[in-house]
C-alpha cells in the first residue's frame, strides 16, 4: 500500500501546495467571486469585447443591490432606460436596476441575468424583459451560443456564459487564484510595465472605451495595451455606470433610420413536449413566464418604441404576443409590440437617441408605476 | 464531448472509470465501455451514430464471411464490398459539399443554376472508416482472426479515448487488449497516465489554442489591410505549432485516458519538428496514419519493389491520397503533393546526410531548421484559403526588405560608433531594434506572442527528443519534487493562460 501511495507522492504534494496556496490567497485577499471566473478572456493581444465588459461589470457592481425591479434585455434598454428617470415615477422605496446589455447576450443571456439576480436578491418583485422588435427570438438567440450575429468578427452570442461562469455547477472549481488572472496575464504577456510602456510610447492608448464598443472590422485585432480595461476613461465609465444604476447614454454614429413596415420573422421548431411546431417567440415568452413564477416575481415584457410600423410582415408576431397576453394574466405587457415613433428620434433602428432617453424612461416609469400600484411590491 | 471540458474530466471520465472498475471482471465490462463511448460520441448529435454503426457492422459481418470462406473469389468480393462501402461513405460525407460547390460554380459560368449539396461531416469518420477497413483487410490477408463477439468489436471501433481523432488503431493491436479481462493498471502507470492527461490539456488549452488565436488574428487582417512584412511568417510558424500541439495533445490525452482502462494506444507523435528529412518526419508525425498509408496503400501499390521510378510514383500517390484524407479542397491535395515531392526529392538526394557528413552536429541542426521550414511551406497550403495564400507569401517575401530598410537607415552610424566607443554601437543596435519594432509594431507583437507560447513547446519537445521520447515519458524518471513542480506549472499554466473561448480539436474536422 505504501509503495502504491509513493507513486502519487508528487500528486499529493502538488495537491497540498494548491490547497495551501489557494487558501492563503483567499485568506489574504478574499478575491471577489465574480472576478474568480473565466467570463473575461484576458487573451493575448486581443481586446476584451466591450459587451462582455459591460455585462461583467453590471453583474459585479449590482450582484447584491437588492432591487425591487430588474430589467434585462438588448441594447435598446441599455441605452434607453435610465433607472433614475423610471424611479421618479415609483414609490420611494421601490428601486429599479438596468441590467440590459446587448443582443449578443441572446434571450438565454437575458434569462440567465434575471435568474442570477433573483437568486441573490430576495427583494426582487418584478422582472422586466425590455426588448426591441429588431432582435426578436430566433434559434441563435435562444438555443445556441457562439453564433456571430453582427459587429466585429469573433464577437459572438455569449449568454450561456452567464450561467456557466456565475451560476453553474462548475463554479465550485473557481479557485481564488483565478481572481488574479488579469494581473498575471498582464505581467507575463506584456512583461509587466515594460511592454506597456514601450507600447504606449510607440502607439499611445489608441482607443477609449466608447470607441472600443464601436470598433469595426477595420480596427486591427491587435490590442497589446488592453485599451479597454487599461484606459484611463475606464474607471470613469465604471463610476458613471454605478451612478446611473446601469444606464449608458447612446453614442452611436448617426445612420439613417427609415419608417418602413416592421419585418419580424417568426422561425419555428418542433417541440417534442407538445408534439407540434412552435415559434421561438412563444417558447421564449413561456420560458420567461416560468422563470418569473418560479421566483414569485411578476414578469413585465416591455417593447421599445420603433420607427417602423405595423403591417402584414409583423402580423404573426403581434398575434402571438396578444395570445400570450390573454393566456398569461400574471404577465404584464404594458405596450404594444409595435409603437411607432418618428424616425428622427432614433440613432440606429434599435436605439432611441440619447436626447430622448427621458421620454423612453418616462414611458416605462409611468407603466411600472401603474403596475406596482396594482400589484404591490 | 470534448476532452478539454469540465464535464469530461470531472464527470464522464470518473463515472466511466468507476463503472469499468466495477464490471472489469465480468463480461459486461466491454458493453459498458461501448455504451459510454456511444454517449461520448453522440452527445452532440444522435445521427452521428448512423454512419458509425453502418461502417462497423458491415465490416464485422464481412470480416466473419471472409474468415469463414475458403473461396478466394468470394473472399476477394467481400473485401471489395468492405473497401468500396467504406470509401463511398467517407467520400459522400467528406467530398460532396466541396465537389458540388465547385460544380455549381463551374455550371454557373455557362448560365446553369445548380444548388450545391451541403452535408454535415460526422466527427471522426475519416478515423473510424480507416480503422474498420484495416480490420477486414487484415482478415483477408490472414494476418488477423475475427472476433465473434459483436460487443468486443464495437467497443474496439468506438473506444472513446481514440474514437474522434485517433490514433488510428489496428484491430490486431487493440481488439485483443479489449477482449480480455485486463489487469488493473499499476500505480506508476496511473500516475504517468494522469500526467499525460494534464500535459495534453496544457498543450491544447495553453499552447495550441493561443497559437490559434495568433493565426486567426492574422487571418482577419488579410481582408482589412493586407499583411505587413513578416506577418505571413508569424502566421506560418504559429499554425505549424498550433496543429502540432492540438493534435499531439489529443493523442496524449487519449493515451493517458486509455491507460487508466488498462489499454495501450500506440504513440502518434515523436517530436516531429526535430526531423531532419521528410522520411524521418513521417515516422514521427501522425504515425498511425502514415503507417496505415504505408501498409494499406504504399506497399500494395508496389512500394519500392519495382524500381526507382515506380517507387517515386507510389510515394506521390500515397501522399496525394493522404492529403485528400485530411480534407476536401485543392489546397489539401497540394499539401499532400508537396510532401510527396519532398519525399521524392529526398529519395533522389538525401541532403541531410550530406550536410551532416560535412558539418557534423551543426549540419544536423541546419538540416532540422531547413526541414522545419519546408514543412511550414506545406502548412500554408493546409491552413490558408486560396484568397489568403498570396498575401501570406508576399508578406513573407517582404520581411527581408523591412529588416534591410532599418539596417540601411542606421548604417552610416555603425562605422563611426566603433571609433567613438563600443557602447555607442550597443546604443545604435538597441535603436535599430526599437526602430524596427516601431515601424513593424503588429509584426513585433505577434512575434512576441509566438515566442512566448513557443518557449514551453521548444523546451518540452527538446527534453523529450533528447531521450528519444515525448515529454510525458520523462515523468517516471523525474524525482518526486521535480514532478511536483511540473504538475504545478502545468496546472497553473492552464488556470492562468488557457484560452477561454471554447475550441474544438482541429482534427475533429477530419
Q: Could B220 and A153 be called an inter-chain contact, meaning their C-beta atoms sit closer than 8 Å?
A: yes
Residues on A contacting B at a C-beta cutoff of 8 Å: 3-11, 13-14, 17-18, 38, 40-46, 146, 153-154, 170, 173, 175, 177-178, 181, 184-185, 188-189, 195, 198, 202-203, 217-218, 220-222, 224
Q: What is the pLDDT averaged over residues B126-149? A: 89
Chain B neighbors of A158, CB-CB under 8 A: none
Q: What is the pLDDT of residues B74-106, one digit of tens each?
A: 999 999 999 999 989 988 888 888 888 888 888
Sequence-separated contacts (24+) of A226-229 with Cβ below 8 Å: A226/A47, A226/A48, A226/A186, A227/A47, A228/A47, A228/A48, A228/A50, A228/A53, A229/A48, A229/A53, A229/A182
Averaged pLDDT for residues B328-348: 88
Q: If you average pLDDT over residues A309-329, what whole number do you get?
A: 92
The span from the CA of A140 to the CA of A109, in Å, is 12
Average pLDDT, integer, range A50-79: 91
| 3-state secondary structure (DSSP) of residue B145 | coil
Determine whether the interchain pair B187/A8 forms a contact, defined as Cβ–Cβ distance below 8 Å: yes
pLDDT bin (cut points 50, 70, 90) of residue A208 is very low
Distances (CA, A) of B379 to A359, A362, B321, B452, B458: 58, 60, 17, 21, 19
**How many angstroms away from the CA of A253 is the closest CA of chain B?**
21
Is A217 in contact with B224 (Cβ distance < 8 A)? yes
User: How close B504 comes to chain A (CA, Å)?
Assistant: 13
Judged by CB atoms closer than 8 Å, whether chains meet at A44 and B495 is answered as no
**Residue B505 clears pLDDT 70, i.e. is over it:** no
Question: What is residue B456's DSSP assignment?
Answer: H
| pLDDT score at A154 | 65
pLDDT, one tens digit per residue, over A123-151 is 999 999 999 999 899 888 887 777 777 66
CB nearest A220 (choices: B221, B448, B478): B221
CB contact under 8 A, A43 and B213: yes
Average pLDDT value for residue range A29-40? 89
Rg, C-alpha atoms of chain A:
23
Q: Is the pLDDT of residue A266 over 60?
A: yes
Say which of B6, B190, B481 has its CB closest to residue A173: B6
The bridge status of strand A346-348 relative to strand A351-352 is antiparallel
* C-alpha span between B83 and B90 (Å, rounded): 11
Do A154 and B220 lie within an 8 Å CB cutoff?
A: yes
Residues 180-239 of B with CB under 8 A from A: 186-188, 190-191, 194, 210, 213-214, 216-217, 220-221, 224-225
Question: A201: nearest CA in chain B?
Answer: B438
- Cβ of B213 within 8 Å of Cβ of A46? The answer is yes
pLDDT band at A212 (very low <50, low <70, confident <90, very high): very low
Beta carbons of A229 and A207 less than 8 angstroms apart: no
User: Tens digits of per-residue pLDDT, B7-66?
Assistant: 889 999 999 999 999 998 888 898 999 999 999 988 878 888 888 999 999 999 999 999
Q: What is the CA radius of gyration of chain B?
A: 25
Judging contacts by C-beta atoms under 8 Å, the chain A residues touching residue B190 are 7-8
Place of cell 507569401: B393
Residue of B nearest to A174 (CA): B495
Question: What is the ipTM metric for this complex?
Answer: 0.85
Instruction: Tell me the average pLDDT across B220-236.
Output: 86
| Chain B neighbors of A38, CB-CB under 8 A | 500
Q: Which of B445, B496, B497 sits opposite A45 (nearest CB)?
A: B445
- Answer for the pair A346, A353: CB distance below 8 angstroms, yes or no: yes
Evaluate whether B268 touches B285 at the Cβ level (below 8 Å): no
CB neighbours of residue B415 within 10 Å: 9
Size of the A and B interface in Cβ pairs below 8 Å: 105
Sheet order of strands, A298-303 included: A96-98, A69-73, A126-131, A298-303
As a whole number of angstroms, the distance between CA B204 and CA B497 comes to 11
Residue of A nearest to B7 (CA): A170
Lowest-confidence segment of A364-373, B343-352, B465-474 by average pLDDT: B343-352
Return d(Cα A95, Cα A221) in angstroms, integer: 40
Question: What is the maximal distance between C-alpha atoms in chain B?
Answer: 92
pLDDT at A32 over 90: no
Closest CA to B98 of B387, B323, B327: B327
pLDDT value of residue B261? 93
Test B500 with A38 for CB contact under 8 angstroms.
yes
**pLDDT reported for residue A230:** 58
Residue B49 has a pLDDT of 87
Cis peptide bond prior to B167, omega within 30° of 0: yes
Per-residue confidence (pLDDT) for residue B164, from 0 to 100:
81
C-alpha to C-alpha distance for A124 and A113, rounded to whole angstroms: 13
| Most confident of the ranges B164-168, B249-253, B300-304 | B249-253
pLDDT of residue B48: 85
- Mean pLDDT score, B484-500: 94
Longest dimension (CA), chain A: 81
Residue A205 CB partners (closer than 8 Å, separation 6+): A225, A227, A230, A231, A232
Option in A13, A14, A46 nearest B217 (CB): A46
Q: Is the model's pLDDT at A215 over the cut of 70?
A: no
- Closest Cα of chain B to A122: distance in Å? 31
Nearest residue of A to residue B479 by CA position? A10
Q: What is the dihedral of CA B434, B439, B442, B444, to 10 degrees?
A: -30
If you average pLDDT over residues B459-464, what whole number do you get? 95
Residue of A nearest to B452 (CA): A189
Tell me the pTM: 0.87
Please give the Cα distance from A49 to B501 (Å, whole number). Answer: 12
The sign of the torsion formed by the CA atoms of B63, B64, B67, B73 equals negative
> Measured on CA atoms in the order B244, B246, B247, B249, is the torsion positive or negative?
positive
Confidence of residue A14 (pLDDT cuts 50, 70, 90): very high
Q: Which of B220, B441, B480 sits opposite A202 (nearest CB)?
A: B441
Q: Report yes or no: B418 and B429 within 8 Å, Cβ to Cβ.
A: no
* Stretch among A190-194, A358-362, B441-445 having the lowest mean pLDDT: A190-194
Whose CA is closest to B347, among B303, B379, B377, B378?
B303
The confidence score (pLDDT) of residue A83 equals: 95
CA distance B192 to chain A (A): 9
What string of DSSP letters covers B206-259? Answer: IIIHHHHHHHHHHHHHHHHH---TTHHHHHHHHHHHHHHHHHHHHHHHHHHHHH
CA distance B105 to chain A (A): 26
Q: Is the pLDDT of residue A191 over 60?
A: yes
SS (H, E, C) chain A: CHHHHHCCHHHHHHHHHHHHHHHHHHHHHCCCCCCCCCCCCCCCCCCCCHHHHHHHHHHHHHCCCCCCEEEEECHHHHHHCCHHHHHCCCCCCCCEEECCCCHHHHHHHHHHHHHHHHHHCCCCCEEEEEECHHHCCCHHHHCCCCCECCCCCCCECCHHHHHHHHHCHHHHHCCHHHHHHHHHHHHHHHCCHHHHHHHHHHHCCCCCHHHHHCCCCCCCCCCCCCHHHHCCHHHHHHHHHHHCCCCCCCCCCCCCCCCCECCCCCCEEEECCCCEEEEHHHHHHHHHHHHHHHCCCEEEEEECCECCECCHHHHHHHHHHHHHHHHCCCCECCCCCCCECCHHHEEECCEECHHHHHHHHHHHHHHHHHHHHHHCC
Is the CB of A220 less than 8 angstroms away from the CB of B225?
yes
Percent of chain B with pLDDT over 90: 44
Distance separating alpha carbons of residues B215 and A221, to the nearest angstrom? 12
Contact at 8 Å (CB) between B494 and B197? no
Instruction: Given the residues B162, B326, B373, B421, select the one marked as catalytic.
Output: B326
Per the structure block, which three cell numbers stand in for A167?
451560476
Is residue B326 annotated as a catalytic residue, yes or no? Answer: yes
- pLDDT above 70 coverage of chain B, percent: 97
pLDDT of residue B144: 87
| pLDDT grade for A51, boundaries at 50, 70 and 90 | confident
Task: Tell if the CB–CB gap between B452 and A222 is shorter than 8 Å.
Answer: no
Q: Model confidence over B52-67: pLDDT tens digits?
A: 999 999 999 999 999 8
Is A46's CB within 8 Å of B487's CB? Answer: no
Contact across the interface for B221 and A14, Cβ inside 8 Å: no
Residues in Cβ contact with A115 at an 8 Å cutoff, skipping those fewer than 6 apart: A167, A291, A295
Cβ atoms A9, B480 nearer than 8 A: yes
**CB < 8 Å to B442, chain A:** 220, 222
Q: Which among B1, B472, B6, B454 is positioned nearest to B198, based on CA atoms? A: B472
Nearest beta carbon to residue A13 from set B437, B484, B502:
B484
Asked whether the beta carbons of residue A218 and residue B224 sit closer than 8 angstroms, the reply is yes
* A8 interaction partners in chain B (CB closer than 8 Å): 187, 190-191
| Residue of B491, B500, B465, B506 lying closest to B195 (CA atoms) | B491
C-alpha cell at B196: 499525460
**What is the model's pLDDT at position A221?**
42
B contacts of A189 (beta carbons < 8 Å): 449, 452
On chain B, the residues whose CB falls within 8 A of the CB of A17 are 484, 488
**Cell numbers that stand for A348 in this block:** 440606429
Report pLDDT for A213.
37
User: pLDDT over 70 for what percent of chain A?
Assistant: 86
The conformation of residue B180, written as its DSSP 8-state character, comes to S
Which 8-state DSSP code applies to residue B130?
H
Chain B nearest C-alpha distance from A161 (Å)? 10
In whole angstroms, give the CA distance from residue B305 to residue B299.
Answer: 9
Amino acid at each position: 500500500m505504501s509503495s502504491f501511495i509513493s507513486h502519487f507522492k508528487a500528486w499529493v504534494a502538488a495537491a497540498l501546495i494548491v490547497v495551501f496556496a489557494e487558501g492563503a490567497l483567499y485568506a489574504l485577499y478574499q478575491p471577489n467571486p465574480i472576478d474568480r471566473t473565466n467570463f473575461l478572456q484576458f487573451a493575448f493581444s486581443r481586446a476584451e469585447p466591450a459587451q462582455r465588459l459591460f455585462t461583467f461589470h453590471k453583474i459585479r457592481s449590482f450582484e447584491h443591490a437588492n432591487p425591487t425591479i430588474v430589467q434585462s434585455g438588448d441594447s435598446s434598454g441599455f441605452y434607453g432606460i435610465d433607472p433614475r428617470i423610471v424611479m421618479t415615477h415609483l414609490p420611494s422605496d421601490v428601486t429599479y436596476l438596468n441590467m440590459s446589455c446587448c443582443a449578443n447576450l441572446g434571450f438565454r443571456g437575458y434569462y440567465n441575468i434575471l435568474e442570477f439576480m433573483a437568486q441573490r436578491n430576495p427583494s426582487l418583485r418584478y422582472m422586466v424583459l425590455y426588448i426591441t422588435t429588431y432582435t426578436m427570438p430566433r434559434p441563435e438567440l435562444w438555443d445556441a451560443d457562439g453564433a456571430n450575429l453582427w459587429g466585429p468578427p469573433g464577437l459572438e452570442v455569449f449568454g450561456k456564459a452567464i450561467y456557466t461562469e456565475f451560476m453553474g455547477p462548475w463554479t465550485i472549481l473557481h479557485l481564488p487564484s483565478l481572481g488574479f488572472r488579469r494581473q498575471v496575464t498582464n505581467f507575463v504577456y506584456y512583461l509587466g510595465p515594460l511592454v506597456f510602456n514601450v507600447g504606449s510610447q510607440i502607439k499611445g492608448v489608441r482607443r477609449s472605451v466608447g470607441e472600443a464598443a464601436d470598433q469595426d472590422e477595420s480596427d486591427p485585432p491587435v490590442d497589446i495595451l488592453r485599451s479597454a480595461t487599461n484606459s484611463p476613461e475606464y474607471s470613469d465609465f465604471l463610476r458613471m455606470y454605478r451612478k446611473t444604476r446601469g444606464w449608458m447614454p447612446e453614442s452611436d454614429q448617426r445612420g439613417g433610420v427609415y419608417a418602413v413596415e416592421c419585418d419580424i420573422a417568426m422561425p419555428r421548431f418542433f417541440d417534442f413536449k407538445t408534439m407540434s411546431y412552435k415559434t421561438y417567440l412563444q417558447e421564449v415568452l413561456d420560458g420567461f413566464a416560468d422563470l418569473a413564477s418560479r421566483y414569485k416575481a411578476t414578469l413585465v415584457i416591455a417593447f421599445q418604441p420603433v420607427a417602423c410600423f405595423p403591417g402584414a410582415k409583423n402580423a404573426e408576431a403581434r398575434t402571438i404576443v396578444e395570445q400570450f397576453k390573454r393566456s398569461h394574466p400574471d404577465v404584464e405587457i404594458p405596450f404594444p409590440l409595435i409603437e411607432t415613433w418618428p424616425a428622427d428620434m432614433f440613432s440606429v433602428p434599435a436605439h432611441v437617441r440619447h436626447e430622448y432617453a427621458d421620454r423612453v424612461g418616462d414611458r416605462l416609469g409611468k407603466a411600472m408605476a401603474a403596475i406596482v400600484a396594482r400589484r404591490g411590491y | 464531448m470534448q476532452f478539454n471540458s469540465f464535464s469530461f474530466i470531472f464527470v464522464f471520465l470518473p463515472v466511466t472509470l468507476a463503472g469499468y472498475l466495477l464490471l472489469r471482471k465480468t463480461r459486461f465490462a466491454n458493453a459498458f465501455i461501448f455504451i459510454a463511448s456511444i454517449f461520448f460520441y453522440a452527445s452532440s448529435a444522435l445521427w452521428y451514430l448512423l454512419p458509425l454503426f453502418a461502417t462497423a457492422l458491415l465490416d464485422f459481418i464481412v470480416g466473419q464471411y471472409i474468415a469463414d470462406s475458403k473461396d478466394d473469389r468470394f473472399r476477394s468480393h467481400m473485401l471489395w464490398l468492405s473497401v468500396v462501402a467504406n470509401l463511398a461513405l467517407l467520400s459522400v460525407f467528406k467530398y460532396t459539399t466541396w465537389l458540388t460547390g465547385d460544380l455549381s460554380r463551374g455550371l454557373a459560368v455557362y448560365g446553369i443554376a445548380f444548388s450545391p449539396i451541403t452535408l454535415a461531416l460526422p466527427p471522426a469518420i475519416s478515423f473510424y472508416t480507416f480503422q474498420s477497413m484495416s480490420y477486414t483487410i487484415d482478415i483477408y490477408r490472414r494476418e488477423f482472426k475475427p472476433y465473434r463477439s459483436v460487443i468486443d468489436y464495437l467497443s474496439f471501433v468506438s473506444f472513446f479515448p481514440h474514437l474522434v481523432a485517433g490514433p488510428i488503431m489496428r484491430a490486431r493491436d487493440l481488439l485483443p487488449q479489449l477482449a480480455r479481462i485486463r489487469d488493473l493498471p499499476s500505480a506508476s502507470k496511473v500516475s504517468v497516465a494522469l500526467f499525460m492527461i494534464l500535459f495534453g490539456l496544457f498543450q491544447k488549452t495553453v499552447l495550441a489554442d493561443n497559437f490559434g488565436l495568433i493565426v486567426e488574428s492574422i487571418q482577419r487582417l488579410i481582408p482589412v489591410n493586407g499583411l505587413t512584412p513578416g506577418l505571413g511568417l508569424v502566421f506560418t510558424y504559429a499554425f505549424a505549432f498550433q496543429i502540432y500541439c492540438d493534435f499531439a495533445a489529443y493523442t496524449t490525452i487519449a493515451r493517458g485516458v486509455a491507460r487508466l482502462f488498462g489499454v495501450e494506444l500506440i504513440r502518434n507523435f515523436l517530436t516531429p519538428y526535430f526531423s531532419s528529412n521528410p522520411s524521418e518526419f513521417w515516422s514521427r508525425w501522425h504515425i498511425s496514419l502514415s503507417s496505415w498509408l504505408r501498409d494499406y496503400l504504399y506497399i500494395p501499390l508496389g512500394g519500392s519493389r519495382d524500381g526507382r521510378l515506380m517507387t517515386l510514383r507510389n510515394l506521390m500517390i500515397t501522399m496525394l491520397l493522404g492529403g485528400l484524407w485530411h480534407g476536401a479542397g485543392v489546397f489539401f491535395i497540394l499539401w499532400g503533393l508537396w510532401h510527396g515531392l519532398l519525399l521524392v526529392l529526398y529519395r533522389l538526394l538525401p541532403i541531410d546526410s550530406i550536410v551532416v557528413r560535412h558539418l557534423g552536429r551543426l549540419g544536423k541542426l541546419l538540416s532540422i531548421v531547413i526541414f522545419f521550414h519546408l514543412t511550414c511551406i506545406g502548412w500554408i497550403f493546409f491552413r490558408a484559403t486560396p484568397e489568403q495564400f498570396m498575401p501570406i507569401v508576399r508578406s513573407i517575401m517582404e520581411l527581408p526588405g523591412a529588416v534591410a530598410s532599418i539596417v540601411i537607415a542606421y548604417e552610416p552610424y555603425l562605422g563611426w560608433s566603433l571609433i567613438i566607443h563600443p557602447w555607442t554601437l550597443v546604443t545604435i543596435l538597441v535603436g535599430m531594434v526599437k526602430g524596427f519594432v516601431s515601424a513593424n509594431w503588429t509584426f513585433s507583437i505577434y512575434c512576441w506572442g509566438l515566442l512566448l507560447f513557443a518557449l514551453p513547446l521548444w523546451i518540452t519537445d527538446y527534453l523529450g527528443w533528447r531521450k528519444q521520447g515525448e515529454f510525458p515519458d520523462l515523468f517516471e524518471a523525474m524525482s518526486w519534487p521535480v514532478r511536483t513542480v511540473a504538475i504545478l506549472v502545468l496546472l497553473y499554466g492552464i488556470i492562468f493562460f488557457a484560452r477561454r473561448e471554447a475550441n474544438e480539436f482541429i482534427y475533429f474536422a477530419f
